[in-house]
Structure 1
Amino acid sequence: MIRDIERQAMNPGEFKALGAGEIAYVKPMTSDDLSTLFPEAPKMASGLQLWVLLNADGTPIMLSDSKDVALANAAEHDLDTVALH
Structure 2
Amino acid sequence: MTKDNLSSIELKDRTVYVSAVNVADLPEAVAKGISQGRVYSLNSSTGERLALVKDRSLAFVLARQNEFHPVPVH
Instruction: Return the TM-score normalized by structure 1.
Output: 0.62
Task: Say if 1:43 and 1:57 are closer, same or farther in 2 by CA, change over 3 A.
Answer: same
Matched, 1:71 2:60: yes
Listed as ranges, the matches of 1:3-82 within 5 Å are 20-35=12-27, 40-44=29-33, 48-82=37-71
Shift of 1:62: 0.8
Count of residues in Structure 1 that have an aligned counterpart in Structure 2: 64
Shift of 1:40: 4.4
Secondary structure of the structure 2 residue equivalent to 1:41: helix
Q: Which has the larger radius of gyration?
A: 1
* RMSD of aligned Cα (Å): 2.4
Any unmatched runs of 5+ in structure 1? Answer: 1-18
Q: Name the amino acid aligned to 1:22.
A: R
Shift of 1:32: 0.6
